[in-house]
Structure 1
Amino acid sequence: MRNYKIDILRGISVLLVLFHHFNIPYKLKDTFLGVQVFGENLSTLIARNGNYGVTMFFVISGFLITSHTLKRDGALSKVHLWQFYIRRIARIIPCLVLLVLMVTILGSLGLTPFINQAPNGVEVSYGLTILAAFTFWMNILIIQFGWVNYALGVLWSLSVEEVFYLAFPVLCLVLRSKKLFILFLLAIICYAPYFRSLYYLDENGGYLYHYFSSFDGIAIGCILALAVQKWQCPERIRKPVITIISILMCLLYLYAPIKEVSIWGTGVFALLTAGLIFCLAQENRSKADSGVGNITVWIGKRSYEIYLFHLVILGLIKVFYLPKETTPEQKLILLPLFFIATLLLSWAIEKYYSTPLNHLIRKHLLAKVNGDLQRKG
């Protein structure tokens, strides 16, 4: 059964990312959202750490992938390699292909947000950018050369996730023992803060975008899935624990720019997210009981499409409303339009493209793999 509260977390995560990305070109500090709170603009406090939303995504992804593997195969050591990869391909690749196609077409029309730039003074070919997108090292490209392509920049996090998941079933089969698997994940979690320290205050974001700067969030999610199998949070203390963790997450989110606390902040935020999911995963209700909750669930279910395509919408807005020339009044109109247009585009892509292709790919490729297994058996 799908846990709607996990979808609420996804929804919150992607909304934080969207607000963060909107505020980068269209600073909202000159609007009513720029009211001073704790010596800082409210808009800045909310927007500056939107990357914590991606941290939440990583923990959720690790949790769900491991949980689904355990339910489907019974044990991590019994994971079916090709079935695992087919499911990942069916979910990831259709939207990735569509995004690249859209950006390529818009770039060919001469629209600046969709054309490769040289932020560090080094020209990077569009072909190399596409190669990085499909071979999951866009994050490394960004670290080395900067944000060479605005609309494709979101693929840095997909690069982190997919490299981890390429290794995930192999590690399950090679290590076989659950204890060894957990020890391996703990090693990643312990190594990540040190790795982030190597890139501390790095202008190109190595403290955030590199594989080992982000793997600990996914690893924490994987361990969480194993923990949920074994332990439960007593119902009488569940709500107080959720409240305390939520407050701590808000305090950390508002405390300081993620860049300044990246060494420990990302890991702590991932651990708090895991604590929250640990409690939420044990809730029995099947759906939200409020309008806001249902809307957030709806957003969470389409979070992948929203995340992947929101910079296409924002890029198009930037074409018609140059950030430096946009008035505060226009920004306040563009903000809800950006959210609405992103949600509508993502809904259409999910309903008429990604979900049908996901089912089609799984139906044909999984049937072929299962048929081969039966013949060998």
Structure 2
Amino acid sequence: MRNYKIDILRGISILLVLIHHFNIPYKLHDSFLGVQIFGESLSTLIARNGNYGVTMFFVISGFLITQHTLQRHSSLAEIDLKNFYIRRIARIMPCLVLLVAMVTLLGSFGLKPFINQAPNDIEVSYALTVFSAFTFWMNMLIIENGWVNYALGVLWSLSVEEVFYLAFPLLCLLLGRSQKGFILLLFAVIAYAPYFRSLHFAEESGAYLYHYFSSFDGIAIGCLTALFVQNFKGILPNKNFIIVIVSVLMIALYLYAPIKVVSTWSISIFALLSAILIACFAQTPQAQVHSILSKSMVWIGQRSYEMYLFHLIILGLFKVIYFPKETLPVEKLMLLPVYFILVFILSWAIEKYYSTPLNIKIRQRFIRSHR
């Protein structure tokens, strides 16, 4: 049963990423959104920490993958290796192939956002960039060489998730029989991540954000949350009060300081707070949404993967037409809603006519059981 509240959380996550990436080239501090609050412009407070949206995505991924595995099988150790990988391939690969094809096509016209650059004065071939995309180490390529391809850079987080997807069923087979070993491993990953981020604190390479070990704690916390929800059958007391308090704490942490300054501990805390929300939402998975705002957020959340992968296509085309340094404040404000609308339309079309039909066909063709 689909949990629409988690879809809303997905919707919030992708909106944070979208506004963050828009504000990088088209800084809004010189518009009316630049009004000063607590010594910072409102636009900066809203947009600077969009990476927390990716943190939420990691927690949600860990939770849903673990929860679905537990629902399909009597234990983690009973996971069907082949079917698991086919489901992940069916969901991930069609959009990944389409993104690379679109970037390759646009790059063939010499459009700068879609061809490789050398931000650290290191030339990286486009073939190697595409190879890293399909072998899930785009994050390491970025850490070593900088943001070599603007439109493909978003694949850093997909690299993190894909390595998790590759390892997860193997770990389930090895450690899932009693769950104790699996849980101990998750705690070890969670404990190591802040230490790893401290080793790379504020580095220009971005290793404190993009490396596998910088991000795995969010996924591990999501996995633990699913195990908690399965084993804790009672309803959490004062659930609505907990949701309000946790939401306020997440907003406060989001606004508190640039993620670069506090990443050592803040990413883990933000992931933990996200997990508490998810645990509360999991208590009533059958809950429906009624308001227009909630329905809109569910719609956005259900297409968040497509939005995440393809929004830099729209933004890259904007950068070709509206050179950021020459774009007036009023033009930025006009571009912002157009950007969101075009991302929504493109993602809707890809989801409806491409990714979902292919996802269904691949599963029907290759999965033995539809439990």
TM norm structure 2: 0.98
Q: CA deviation at 1:298?
A: 0.1
Contact 1:31 1:329 in 2 (8 A): yes
DSSP-derived class of the 2:261 partner = coil
1:38 to 1:88, Cα distance in 2 relative to 1, 3 A: same
DSSP-derived class of the 2:153 partner = coil
What is the aligned partner in structure 2 of residue 349 from structure 1? 350
Question: Which runs of 5 or more residues in structure 1 are unaligned?
Answer: 371-377
What is the aligned partner in structure 2 of residue 151 from structure 1? 151
What is the aligned partner in structure 1 of residue 263 from structure 2? 262
Question: Which runs of 5 or more residues in structure 2 are unaligned?
Answer: none
Structure 1 CA distance for aligned equivalents of residues 112 and 314 of structure 2: 13
- The one-character-per-residue Cα deviations of 1:108-135 (angstroms, maximum 9, x if unpaired) are 0110000000000000000000000000
| Residue pairs, 1:161-310, within 5 angstroms | 161-175=161-175, 176-231=177-232, 234=235, 236-310=237-311
DSSP-derived class of the 1:218 partner = helix
DSSP-derived class of the 2:278 partner = helix
| Residue pairs, 1:1-377, within 5 angstroms | 1-175=1-175, 176-231=177-232, 234=235, 236-367=237-368
- The one-character-per-residue Cα deviations of 1:281-307 (angstroms, maximum 9, x if unpaired) are 112543212101000000000000000
1:284 to 1:355, Cα distance in 2 relative to 1, 3 A: closer
Q: CA deviation at 1:234?
A: 4.1
Structure 1 CA distance for aligned equivalents of residues 364 and 286 of structure 2: 30
- The one-character-per-residue Cα deviations of 1:318-367 (angstroms, maximum 9, x if unpaired) are 10000000001100010000000000000000000000000011111114
DSSP-derived class of the 1:121 partner = coil
- Give the number of aligned pairs: 369
Letter in 1 for 2:302: K
Contact 1:233 1:278 in 2 (8 A): no
Q: CA deviation at 1:74?
A: 2.0
Contact 1:2 1:286 in 2 (8 A): no
- The one-character-per-residue Cα deviations of 1:197-216 (angstroms, maximum 9, x if unpaired) are 11101002100000000000
1:284 to 1:102, Cα distance in 2 relative to 1, 3 A: closer
- The one-character-per-residue Cα deviations of 1:19-49 (angstroms, maximum 9, x if unpaired) are 0000000000011111111110000001000
- The one-character-per-residue Cα deviations of 1:257-313 (angstroms, maximum 9, x if unpaired) are 000011100000000000111111112543212101000000000000000000000
DSSP-derived class of the 2:367 partner = helix
Structure 1 CA distance for aligned equivalents of residues 271 and 182 of structure 2: 19
What is the aligned partner in structure 2 of residue 375 from structure 1? none
Q: CA deviation at 1:233?
A: 6.6
- The one-character-per-residue Cα deviations of 1:126-184 (angstroms, maximum 9, x if unpaired) are 00000000000000000000000000000000000000110000001011330110001
- The one-character-per-residue Cα deviations of 1:81-127 (angstroms, maximum 9, x if unpaired) are 11100000000000000000000000001100000000000000000
Structure 1 CA distance for aligned equivalents of residues 184 and 161 of structure 2: 20
Moved more, 234-243 or 32-41: 234-243
Structure 2 CA distance for aligned equivalents of residues 130 and 244 of structure 1: 43
Q: CA deviation at 1:236?
A: 4.8
Structure 1 CA distance for aligned equivalents of residues 15 and 336 of structure 2: 12
Structure 2 CA distance for aligned equivalents of residues 89 and 118 of structure 1: 31
Contact 1:33 1:42 in 2 (8 A): yes
Letter in 1 for 2:162: E
Structure 1 CA distance for aligned equivalents of residues 214 and 234 of structure 2: 30
Letter in 2 for 1:247: V
Contact 2:2 2:286 in 1 (8 A): no
Superposition CA RMSD, Å: 1.2
DSSP-derived class of the 1:29 partner = coil
Letter in 2 for 1:161: E
TM norm structure 1: 0.96
Structure 1 CA distance for aligned equivalents of residues 237 and 131 of structure 2: 52
Structure 2 CA distance for aligned equivalents of residues 339 and 282 of structure 1: 32
Q: CA deviation at 1:73?
A: 1.5
Q: CA deviation at 1:232?
A: 5.3
Contact 2:11 2:304 in 1 (8 A): yes
DSSP-derived class of the 1:308 partner = helix
1:90 to 1:284, Cα distance in 2 relative to 1, 3 A: closer
- The one-character-per-residue Cα deviations of 1:5-26 (angstroms, maximum 9, x if unpaired) are 0000000000000000000000
Moved more, 168-177 or 203-212: 168-177
Letter in 2 for 1:144: E
